[in-house]
Structure 1
Amino acid sequence: MIIGLSNTAFEYKGTIQDIIWLFYPGAELVAEDKGDFLLQLNLSQEVEFNLWAEAQLYVNGASLAQREEGHPLIPAEVPNELKRLARMAVYKILVSYSGTTPSPWGIMTGIRPTKVVHRLLDLGWSKQNVENYLLDKYALRPDKTQLITSVTEIQRPLLLSKKQAKKLVGVYIGIPFCPSRCLYCSFPSYSIKRHRDMVDPFLKALLQEIQVIGETLRSQGLLVQSIYLGGGTPTSLNCEQLQSLLEAIQLSLKDDSTIEMTVEGGRPDTLNEDVFALLANAGVNRLSINPQSMNQKTLDIIGRAHTVEDIYRSVETARNYKFPTLNMDLIIGLPGETVQDVARTMESILQLKPENLTVHALALKRASNLKQRLAEFPLLQAEEAVAMWQETARGATALGQHPYYMYRQKQMVGNLENIGYALPGHECIYNIQMIEERQTIIGLGVGAGSKWMDPDTWTLVNEYNAKDPRQYVERLDEYIERKLHHIRELSTKQ
């Protein structure tokens, strides 16, 4: 489909494109009066911050119009409020024209919908007023409104104050190797068998980055609250390599303020008694064993080199080492799976009783093999995805868990969300701080992103290390120097 945009509408193309694509996925937007229909958009600011946006839709000689009025919560937010009004006007006119409401999230197409709620709570709003605002100003469905307000209610006591955020940071360490690449994966991930020659140079560079950054943090009086080893699959390293990494973390990054250390064991085929012993001795207190599905046919399709029995074995062994928190990840919408398959997966998860459960809705990414094989593995219809989501939500409730963090991605099946559940007291601190962006997160290793937070304004700068191990090694000095600058800058805020 081709949709013509008026000059003003085209100026706001970046603002309204996601809304249009909710109704017409992938529609081509052109700055001229051509296409299946024409969309006009006018916006204005009047006296005392009274704002309005009006959308007009012209189709086959007929027209529809929708006007939205509002005002910013604070004067500095005039541009953002104009964008919200534009999105709402376009959304409502397309609902009227199409007769459908394609997303339970209304005009909230961003990654972090909970940030809106935290901002309103910071202004002293009550939970009820926040819910009413979301229903009215963002067109959220009531169940999604209740979901994000309940999530933020759990998060509030765990967020840092501005004073704490000037002192405490989180650290993410990216290990770019896996036993094999999963069909849906879009992360920086390299088969450790095919790229074994990369591992030692990468690890040498990573240990240097850990040492220099750790020493600088301490010299500047900054403390590490949480450490997260992700990837890839960190436990795909051999025991000698893994031990050297864990020792470097212990020596350079951990301190008395480090209350959480997560390792993505991820793939059960990388876990054995020796690996569990190393992790336990290093003080890992949150371990992820991520099956994604407990159906063998699905594991085979997505390229997993382990069995369902391996998952049970790994969890049993992990329990023997008494890791305080066990997390398990699932994905709904995997190729070939049905609602019944997801129900069977949840029956298995209920037997394993993890303290954390993270449920992802499959997102179609350009860098994934799945994107190239859609003819082979067509995506689910929205109704099936929602039914799967409901199965996982029921399972989490049966485990006594509550939703404690969430985020959304582009092209998710069913326009759903990724959601983390936890038993009380087992919420992942790193996940909350990273998603809500109320803390500096320092990314070390391949593909690792850093979020440099200004605690006075809650504004941030995002920076990334290279996704290729060779480029990471070659540019290491640049990455280190950049981080040292930001660390020194953060220390001046204390």
Structure 2
Amino acid sequence: MIKVIFHDEDICRNIFEFIRTQLPSYENKKDMEISIRDNINYLEILISSKEINKTILVKKVEDKRELKFNIKRELYKNLYNYFDNEDPWGILTGVRPVKLVLSLLEKNSIEKTKEILKNYYLLNDDSINLCLDIAKTELSYLYPVNRNRYSLYIHIPFCPTKCSYCSFLTLDNNKKNTKIYTDYLIEELKYYSQFVKNPPHTVYIGGGTPTSIDIKELEEIIRTVNIYYKKPLEFTVECGRPDTINKEILLMLKEMGVNRISINPQSMNNKTLKNIGRSHSVEDILLSYDIAKKIGFESINMDLILGLPGESVEDVNYSLNKVISLDPENITIHTLSLKNGSDLYKNKNFSNCNDIDEMLKLTKSLTKKNDYIPYYMYRQKRMLGNGENIGYSKVSKESIYNMVMMEEKETILGFGMCSTSKFYYPEKNKILKTMNYRNLKDYINKNNKVSKSKYINDFKF
């Protein structure tokens, strides 16, 4: 167990997450206490465990964010020899490393940015080069920043079954629930259309599994977008689960103007699919993909997860080669994140996968060899091996929505329960957020027509 003692709870949480990431063996199996004494000009940090007894000093600064980094930097330097694995991400624990790199590049040369990442944030060369490669791709899509450009995110909280690694809130997938939800979602979409005159940059319908609801309900949602918001440059629907896809649904999506879809295997190993609660087979994946390819979608994404229970490096190698042989435009590689609320985490049905580094190196090598470039990336808490999630694409087939969502350089209007709207003020480099209700009863009975109204009139969409 890791315990952090200090009068500032925000700093305590920040340090705890950093230490837990670097020393996962202490979280449940060992004890460590980090006690911080606040003196006039510095913080005295005492680290105590069975193996470690150290005292380090950190100079106090007024800027709280910089103080957090200073504490983590000194902890990193003093505890590095005790880390469970070599960490390529230094003291960065945030979700969006490339967002940081983009902000640095706005003010510095590439060489200066590299220097800051290496000496201040302590990233290794591979992580620095990965971030810079992704930033280079994203620059052409995100800049120049347009204050009045916006995208739509539409949330469908239904799935045929819940995967063991998933912590998302999903509803019972019955006709009554999906019909009620769809009606209120469409009402919300129609209401906010009065605030926009121009078509959205992108539209993304995610979940959950959007294709798990009735085809007519999904079609009506898309029709509402097309009528009230007009055609975007990119329109994505997560088909996700192959057991929810058929020719009729895919033809409808194509005819309604959807030009990008996701078909997400997670693994091309039938035993693994069964173990994680996916009610489909590898054969279902291949059939669904074949139908989608013949129908002619401009871009198809396929997801894989590294570190699933029981999977080896050889299993990952097989899955990735199988997916690459299908030649999708996008491949997204996730490192398993052990999320609170997931069955996998609750049942402790996982191990701290020691092969994650090798799996990540393999995926980077194979994607590069087959002409896929990394175009966006993010990180999460409790990722095995402190890894990362990377989206790869064929040249000029990048998902615009994924980039604007992750780097927060554009307003995103969120619709449906659990969705978040992000309003981007470039003049202040600031994001203001509003969230919709997180359960069906509140979403239906309370007024979602006010959640986004607080900020939407600041823009000329």
What TM-score, normalized to structure 1? 0.86
Match of 1:366 among 329, 337, 340: 340
**What is the RMSD of the two structures over their aligned residues, measured on CA atoms?**
2.6
- Residue equivalent to 2:88: 104
Aligned partner of residue 482 in structure 1, secondary structure: coil
Letter in 2 for 1:104: P
Gaps of 5+ in 2: none
Letter in 1 for 2:187: Q
Q: 1:176·1:469 contact (CA, 8 Å) conserved in 2?
A: no
Q: 2:378·2:388 contact (CA, 8 Å) conserved in 1?
A: yes
Q: Distance in 2 between matches of 1:282 and 1:41?
A: 62
- Residue equivalent to 1:240: 216
* Residue deviations 1:285-322 (CA, integer Å, cap 9, x gap): 11110011111111111111111111111111111111
CA change 1:212–1:37 in 2 (3 A) is closer
1:286-297 matches, within 5 Å, as: 286-297=260-271
Match of 1:173 among 132, 145, 154: 154
Kindly indicate whether residue 169 of structure 2 is the aligned counterpart of residue 197 of structure 1. no
Letter in 2 for 1:217: V
Aligned partner of residue 490 in structure 1, secondary structure: coil
1:252-267 matches, within 5 Å, as: 252-255=228-231, 258-267=232-241
* Residue deviations 1:116-168 (CA, integer Å, cap 9, x gap): 11111111x12222112111111112211111111111111111434x1x221
Aligned partner of residue 155 in structure 2, secondary structure: strand
Identity %: 34
Q: 1:9·1:40 contact (CA, 8 Å) conserved in 2?
A: no
Q: Distance in 1 between matches of 2:172 and 2:260?
A: 25
Displacement, 1:64?
Answer: 3.9
Letter in 1 for 2:164: L
CA change 1:37–1:347 in 2 (3 A) is closer
CA change 1:267–1:136 in 2 (3 A) is same
- Residue equivalent to 2:454: 485
Q: Distance in 2 between matches of 1:243 and 1:61?
A: 60
Gaps of 5+ in 1: 29-34, 46-51, 72-76
- Residue equivalent to 1:17: 16
Q: 2:85·2:385 contact (CA, 8 Å) conserved in 1?
A: no
CA change 1:380–1:3 in 2 (3 A) is closer
Q: 1:22·1:103 contact (CA, 8 Å) conserved in 2?
A: no
Kindly indicate whether residue 58 of structure 2 is the aligned counterpart of residue 87 of structure 1. no
Letter in 2 for 1:247: R
CA change 1:112–1:60 in 2 (3 A) is closer
CA change 1:342–1:296 in 2 (3 A) is same
* Residue deviations 1:15-45 (CA, integer Å, cap 9, x gap): 32222223444868xxxxxx75554466877
* Residue deviations 1:372-391 (CA, integer Å, cap 9, x gap): 221xx22242x311222222
Kindly indicate whether residue 92 of structure 2 is the aligned counterpart of residue 113 of structure 1. no
Aligned partner of residue 91 in structure 1, secondary structure: helix
Displacement, 1:79?
Answer: 3.1
1:322-337 matches, within 5 Å, as: 322-337=296-311
- Residue equivalent to 1:48: none
Aligned partner of residue 235 in structure 1, secondary structure: helix
CA change 1:384–1:485 in 2 (3 A) is same
Q: Distance in 1 between matches of 2:381 and 2:36?
A: 25
- Residue equivalent to 2:168: 187
Q: Distance in 2 between matches of 1:62 and 1:111?
A: 29
- Residue equivalent to 1:430: 401
Q: 1:175·1:234 contact (CA, 8 Å) conserved in 2?
A: yes
CA change 1:330–1:41 in 2 (3 A) is farther
Displacement, 1:228?
Answer: 0.1
Match of 1:379 among 348, 351, 355: 351
Q: 1:295·1:308 contact (CA, 8 Å) conserved in 2?
A: yes
Q: Distance in 1 between matches of 2:204 and 2:64?
A: 36
Letter in 1 for 2:193: G
Q: Distance in 1 between matches of 2:235 and 2:311?
A: 33
Aligned partner of residue 17 in structure 1, secondary structure: helix
CA change 1:207–1:54 in 2 (3 A) is same
Letter in 1 for 2:13: G
Q: Distance in 1 between matches of 2:236 and 2:4?
A: 49
Aligned partner of residue 450 in structure 2, secondary structure: helix
Q: 1:3·1:36 contact (CA, 8 Å) conserved in 2?
A: yes
- Residue equivalent to 1:282: 256
Q: 2:23·2:84 contact (CA, 8 Å) conserved in 1?
A: no
Match of 1:390 among 358, 361, 379: 361
Displacement, 1:275?
Answer: 0.7
1:317-466 matches, within 5 Å, as: 317-374=291-348, 377-381=349-353, 383-466=354-437
CA change 1:398–1:203 in 2 (3 A) is same
Count of paired positions = 459
CA change 1:191–1:360 in 2 (3 A) is farther
* Residue deviations 1:423-465 (CA, integer Å, cap 9, x gap): 1111111111111011111110121111121121121122222
Q: Distance in 1 between matches of 2:396 and 2:182?
A: 34
Letter in 1 for 2:392: Y
Aligned partner of residue 453 in structure 1, secondary structure: strand
Letter in 2 for 1:253: Y
Displacement, 1:102?
Answer: 4.9
Displacement, 1:323?
Answer: 0.6
CA change 1:102–1:274 in 2 (3 A) is same
- Residue equivalent to 1:139: 122
* Residue deviations 1:185-222 (CA, integer Å, cap 9, x gap): 11122342xx332111100001111111123212xxx5
CA change 1:246–1:136 in 2 (3 A) is same
CA change 1:126–1:175 in 2 (3 A) is same
Q: Distance in 2 between matches of 1:273 and 1:378?
A: 36
Q: 1:180·1:190 contact (CA, 8 Å) conserved in 2?
A: no
* Residue deviations 1:231-277 (CA, integer Å, cap 9, x gap): 0111112222122112111101224xx21000101111111111111
Displacement, 1:10?
Answer: 6.7
Letter in 2 for 1:398: K
Letter in 2 for 1:378: F
Letter in 2 for 1:428: S
- Residue equivalent to 1:49: none
